[in-house]
Each structure stands twice: as structure tokens, then as C-alpha cells.
Amino acid sequence: MNSISCWESLAKNWCGESSACCKARSFISDYSMTGATSSTSTTPGSMLQTNINICTVSSSVIRRVPSLVHSSSRSGLLFFNKSLQKPIGSIGLDMVLSFCYASSMVLQLSDTLTTDIPLDRDSEEPIYQQLIRHFQYQISSGRLQPGTRLPPSRDLARELGIGRISVVSAYNELQSKGLISAHPGRGTFVSGGEQTRKVTPKNHHQSQPAPHQNMREILRLAQKPGVIAFNCGAPPDEFLPVEAFRSALDTVLHRDGAAAITYEDPEGYMPLRTAVRDFITSQGIDTRAENILITGGAQQALDVVLQAMLAPGDAVITTSPTYLGFLDIAHVRRITPVGIPMNNEGICLDTLEDLLIDYHPKLLYINPTFHNPTGSTMSIHRRRQLLRLAQQYDLMILEDAVYQELHFDEPAPPPLKALDEAGIVLHASSFSKILLPGTRIGYIVTEGYARDRILRVKQAADICSPALIQRAVHLYMKRGNLPGHLDRIRHVLRDRRDAAVEAARKYLSDEWAWKVPKGGLYMWLELPASGPTAAELYMNAIDYGVAYAMGTLFHTNGEGARHIRINFGSYPPEKIREGFRRLSAAWEDFQINNIQRRPIL
């Protein structure tokens, strides 16, 4: 019996024939061969005198077999503290095998050849998407077999020299596609093997193309004649004060002449900034006009903040689901959005704190009032908790407050900025949802170093916002038109919200779920678990003459397959009722006739 056989025999006798111990035994066999002397002893006692490789150990884990250092004349396996450059003791094979089993690293050596991942750090494609593409190819080509365990996110991030959050985001996306599954306490595995056989992946649509590949087709279908398009995010045309704004434009041109059509101050037209200051003072925000920067709508406000505060490859925390336009900005700027679930009070703070501890992100984006897409509102208690947590972890908050004034039954809670005593909230809003979408006039409330950085980015983007539009909006506000206009909008939206709730109760079965929104434009519906997903139902809904926004579009990880967003502000009550009737008919037809259709997403 040679020395290798002796090692195998010991492993078999002490550990049995389990898969784990076979791999541990194989590890000992392979790597004792590289360091064994010519000893021909066949007894365990003498075998332990064999010279074998020193195993480098860090934090009580065998990290990588290729990191084994040169052999040394010690009995048993000599463990070596690499950071201290000195041995920490030698142990027998039984302890080695137990250690290998407990650490679980040895078990993966033959299965996880996944760390040679080519990453292009200069590419416009975010790192996490490069990881997704790599693993998708490895799995589809069969190089990663079902049941193969993937490296822990922390280890893979360290080896690749990237942020752990990129690996976590990639794993989340792969899991949402059903390609891998995570098992607390055991690890993350390629789907389909024994390790994952008991797990049914959520929202499993492997054949779906990327959502944005089909967005144009989705929008085109919703624009077909006769379709009730609940999918849009804009207020209806009848909300727009066309005549009042035309009067303001005429007055400004007559009054200001060339000054109205030349370059404006990059920070914005000061009288408008002062008017905005007065407007948000009524919401509880105490600031100076100098701290208000005028932007090209709230969308540009979000964009310049991301550019000013983050770098490509950084992570930004947000809710999941979240505003689709924000996800678009993050994608273009190569920022990784990491979603946190929500509950009845708002963002889940326990999950947020875990992320803050693990990743130390710089920025959280949140839409706390009449949230898009769910319509929910964060409680004032949760707002205060969030601010305390953010201050504790030095986290900046980007607050999107575009729906703050669209309350129906009672005033909304104060914005986060109104409760901010530490100067950590960047407050972004606009007049798009409440006044004039096409004018693209928004604003950011910010102080200190963040203000200067945001202003530099804003200047680089467009020099200044249009002077004529800024001056006309200011005059419209100065004339006192805005309060009455807001009252009319709230009254109309409340009636339309009531029509949507009434129609949902009348036409949708008890298996559907929704909550009554207290403001904003949107109603978030959950489809029954027994039928099609929103993407599978979509074409049938179009055939019946109704369109909606699919929930997956608003999530950071592909979830939301059974949710849809309805914009009840888009149509008068009778159209809303008809839209819900069509939606119900499309659903029932799909169920009764067992329609087989490929998901639109």
C-alpha cells in the first residue's frame, strides 16, 4: 500500500463515503502527491511523517489550493498564518478532514472553476451585468453543471477586485431568472442539481429577453387605436393650464425682451428660486433660495445627483420596486441599483442596515410619498427612523418628491427634507406632475459640498435651463394660480381614484390584491398566483383593448412578475371602469381557454 493509498484509506475510514468526504479525500490525495517524499511506510503513524505541502490558512478557512506554499518537514499538515509569517500548529489528518468539511471550501475546488472571469472595467456595460453575462454563458454551455456551487459573493468580489455589491446584484438577477438558487447556510448553486431540486425558482422565465429590448414594442402596442392605456406615467392633457401659461409667456416676452431668450444664471432664475423656496416652505422645508438649483425637470435632477455623488461601478440603494426612470439613469451612468423590499410603513430598515454594514454605500434614492409605482406612503415614524439610520452610517438620501402635493383625503406627511436636521437629504421635485410636463422645470434643494458638485455637473450638462420657461413659470406662480390649480387636480384625481377602486372591486376576483392609494397617480395590483404573469397576459390584454405597466420593469432584480401598475389619472371615470372590465375579461379569457403565449418581456 503506497502513501497515497494510505491517505485515501484514512479518509475513507474516518469520513465514510459521503460526497463531501470523497472530495476531501480527493483533495488530500491530489495534494499530498505533490509534496510526498519517497516514504514507503504503510502505517498511519509513519504516514504522518511524510513531507507534504503547508496549507495557507486565513481567518480559519482554506482559501485556495493554488496558494499552497512550499513543503516543510513537519508531521501531519502544518497550518501557517501567512499574515504573521509563522506556523500556528500541526494537526492530524482527522482534524484536517473535519476542518475541510466545516470550511466547505475544499468541497468546491473541483466544482467552482468560475473565478477566471474577464471583466472590462472601461466598458459602458456595468460590472454586475458582465458577471451576469459570464455566468449565463457558463451555465447554458454546460461548463457549470446543475448543482455546482458558486463562490460566496464576498470571496468572488475579493478575488476579482470588485465591490461585493456587484456580485450580489449579479447573483440576484441570475436567481430571478431561475438560473441559480440560494440556500441560507449552504450556499448558492446552479439550478437543476440535487442541491436545488427542492427549490422552485421565483418568477422563472428564462426565455425572456431583457426588458428594455421590448419597451418600444410595449409602448407601440399601447398606442393602438381604441386601447385604454393605463401604462403611461404622465398627467392627462386636460390638467394642463394652457391659457394661463400662454398669458404668462406673452407677458414675459413683452416685459423682458431679449433677456427672456438669452442665457440664464446656471443656478436658475433667482425670482423663480425664491418662489420655489416659498412653495416648499408650506411643506415644512426651511431653506434659503440660494440652496435651490433649477433643473430640467426632476429627471435631470436625479441624473445630476447621481453623476455628482457617485462614480461608475458604485452602488446606489433604492426600494424594490422603484421608479423606472431612475433605473434607466443608473444603467446609463453605470451605477448599480440595489433594491430593498418595502412593507406597510415603507422601506425595510433592517435590510437597509445590513446593506449599510456590508457595503457602505454613499447614496439612497427614495420616493417616500405616493410612491411610484406602488402608490404607498412612508409613515412619519419610519421617516424619522430612516433619517437616524442614514446619519449613523453617513448615508446621503436623494428624495424624489414629485407627488408630494397630490394628496386626496388628507395632507401627506412632511418630506424627508423637512425632518432633516443633519443636512443629509437632497430634495428633488418638479412641476411636471402638477403643472406643465413639457416645460421640464424641476429643482434640487441642497447645501454644502454637494451643492457645488451638483452645480458643476448641471453646468456641464446644459449650461442653464431655458430662461423664457423659468420666467413664465415664476410669473404663473406669482399671480397666485398654483394653489387653485392644485385643488382642481386633487379633486379630479380623487374621483378617478374612487372610480378605479370601485371598478377593481366590481370586476376583479378576490384573488387579485391591491391597496387604496391616498394620493398620486398610481394603483399597484397583484395578479392571482394561479394564472398568467403580467408579461404572459399582456398581449391578451391588448387584444381586449387595455394596456398596463408590468411590475418587472420597476424592480432591480427581475421580480414583480405578478404585479401591474395602473395610472388611474389618465382617464375619466367611465373610461377607467371600462378599462378594468377589459382587464378582467382578458384575464378570464386567458384562464378559460388556457391561452399559450410567450411573455412580452
CATH number, domain containing residue 149:
1.10.10.10
The 3-state secondary structure of 419-464 reads HCCCCCEEEEEECCCCCCHHHCCEEEECCHHHHHHHHHHHHHHHCC
pLDDT at 157: 85
Q: Are residues 265 and 406 in the same domain?
A: yes
- CATH number for 340: 3.40.640.10
pLDDT at 470: 94
- Domain-located, residue 228: yes
Look up residue 253 and give its amino acid: L
> Which of 68, 88, 108 is the last residue before a domain boundary?
108
Q: Which of the two residues, 171 and 251, has the higher pLDDT score? A: 251
Q: Are residues 489 and 543 in the same domain?
A: yes
pLDDT tens profile 135-191: 988 887 778 889 899 998 888 988 898 877 788 888 888 987 889 988 756 788 998
- Domain-located, residue 63: yes
**pLDDT over 70 at 41, yes or no:** no
Q: Are residues 373 and 445 in the same domain?
A: yes
- Domain-located, residue 601: no
**pLDDT over 80 at 46, yes or no:** no
User: Among 98-102, 113-117, 348-352, which is the least confidently predicted range?
Assistant: 98-102
Contact 439, 298 (CB under 8 A): no
Euclidean distance between CA atoms 231 and 219, whole angstroms? 8
Percentage of the chain modeled with pLDDT above 90: 52
Quickly state the pLDDT bin for 222 (edges 50, 70, 90). confident
pLDDT at 593: 83
The 3-state secondary structure of 529-576 reads CCCCCHHHHHHHHHHHCEECEEHHHHCCCCCCCCEEEEEHHHCCHHHH
pLDDT tens profile 502-552: 999 999 999 999 999 999 999 999 999 988 999 889 989 999 999 999 999
Q: Are residues 382 and 458 in the same domain?
A: yes
pLDDT tens profile 56-97: 333 333 333 333 333 333 333 443 333 334 344 444 444 444
Euclidean distance between CA atoms 378 and 349, whole angstroms? 12
- Domain-located, residue 153: yes
Q: Are residues 460 and 491 in the same domain?
A: no
Average pLDDT in the 580-595 region? 90
Q: Are residues 473 and 489 in the same domain?
A: no
Q: Are residues 190 and 269 in the same domain?
A: no
> Which of 183, 202, 221 is the last residue before a domain boundary?
202
Q: Which of the two residues, 93 and 593, has the higher pLDDT score? A: 593
pLDDT at 592: 86
pLDDT at 75: 33
Euclidean distance between CA atoms 259 and 88, whole angstroms? 78
Q: 10 Å Cβ neighbour count for 171?
A: 23
Q: Are residues 303 and 399 in the same domain?
A: yes
pLDDT at 238: 79
Q: At what angle do helices 448-462 and 297-309 cross, to 10 degrees?
A: 120
Q: Are residues 121 and 197 in the same domain?
A: yes
Quickly state the pLDDT bin for 438 (edges 50, 70, 90). confident
- Domain-located, residue 599: no
pLDDT at 48: 34
- CATH number for 582: 3.90.1150.10
Of 58, 82, 62, nearest to 70 (Cα)? 82
- Domain-located, residue 55: yes
Rounded to 10 degrees, what is the CA torsion of 376, 345, 286, 301?
Answer: -50
> Which of 108, 129, 155 is the last residue before a domain boundary?
108
- Domain-located, residue 600: no
How many domains, in total, are found in the chain? Answer: 4
Q: Are residues 537 and 499 in the same domain?
A: yes
pLDDT at 214: 53
Q: Are residues 228 and 316 in the same domain?
A: no
- Domain-located, residue 426: yes
| Domain encompassing residue 556 | 211-232+485-593
Average confidence score pLDDT of the chain: 79
What pTM value is reported for the model?
Answer: 0.67
User: Among 28-37, 55-64, 93-102, which is the least confidently predicted range?
Assistant: 55-64
**pLDDT over 70 at 54, yes or no:** no
Q: Are residues 81 and 117 in the same domain?
A: no
**pLDDT over 70 at 3, yes or no:** no
Average pLDDT in the 352-379 region? 94
CA separation (Å) from 474 to 171, 248, 458, 547? 48, 9, 20, 37
**pLDDT over 70 at 361, yes or no:** yes
